[in-house]
Copies of this chain bind each other. A is one copy, B any other.
């Protein structure tokens, strides 16, 4: 407390000198005069009580402490830029490109509801969609190729924040003549001994459904792994077995007059949680909260259960 804290300008000066290894050029790059920059660095060294830069008339180089402090100063300056960015984004909420990745077992069932709502309420938002499996989405999110991912939670990825959106029950889809057809409180154990058709490897819904099957003692027809839920439902209609669908997919995939029936499970009903994921460092958290509201707003009329809105986010 006795020591005055470094100034913002001083940190910028130090980083400039570190970048250019030359006071004159650094000063030019920062649009200040060379003496100004010189005294700024000197002042920083005085307040910190440590030599940061070794000056000779021929070369400028950093001391060990200097390196350390430059690294932290870069972080500080970057964070301040972020603050400005957050503010700019907030001034124009939900505008510009939004690179959204969606898992294949959600995309075809949620997007047709979401897109019209969004276009109506936020015409400035340009959604760039990408459909891929969870692992791919998370990698692209982390690498900055995506802004947002819509997928099953939780993923427990460090540095990734998740917004829960809704819980989606698993529903049994079976041939119409099957004994379970139309059941409304089928225990999971009723799957014992049944042939269940599942997605191919890599889909998170495959793993979730497989869990249910293994608990119940059902068999997977491993020779018939499909690339999409549509394909699987066709195969069920063809009498090759039965399958599980996430509730949102039922309306689209199970039409009338195709020889298909559904059945719902008894409690505890197997289900999955769908939500948004974004980099915890994202400058557009406010945008993502707004988008989450839009997804929730797109849901009524379905039998999906909304997740409670976390405190602090306007509902």
Contact of A72 among B49, B79, B286, B312 (CB under 8 A): B79
Which chain A residues numbered 39 to 77 have a C-beta less than 8 Å away from chain B?
Answer: 48-50, 64-65, 67-69, 72-73, 75-76
Contact of A65 among B3, B72, B76, B90 (CB under 8 A): B90
Taking CB atoms, residues of chain B closer than 8 Å to A49 are 87-88, 91
Q: How many copies does the complex hold?
A: 2
Contact of A83 among B64, B73, B285, B289 (CB under 8 A): B73
Known: A8-B5, A75-B79. A69 touches B87 (CB 8 A): yes
In the complex, A80 has a CB within 8 A of chain B: yes
Taking CB atoms, residues of chain B closer than 8 Å to A314 are 64
CA distance A61 to B7 in the complex (A): 28
In the complex, A183 has a CB within 8 A of chain B: no
Contact across chains for A72 and B86 when beta carbons are under 8 A apart? yes
In the complex, A313 has a CB within 8 A of chain B: yes
Give the Cβ gap from A48 to chain B, nearest Cβ, in Å: 4
A7 and chain B: residue at smallest CB distance? B8
Known: A67-B312, A286-B65, A289-B64. A87 touches B5 (CB 8 A): no
CA distance A34 to B83 in the complex (A): 24
Known: A6-B80, A8-B5, A8-B8. A87 touches B65 (CB 8 A): yes
Sample of 16 more A-B contacts, CB < 8 Å, known A48-B83, A69-B86: A6-B80, A48-B87, A49-B87, A49-B91, A50-B91, A64-B90, A64-B313, A64-B314, A65-B90, A67-B312, A72-B86, A73-B83, A76-B76, A76-B79, A76-B80, A76-B83
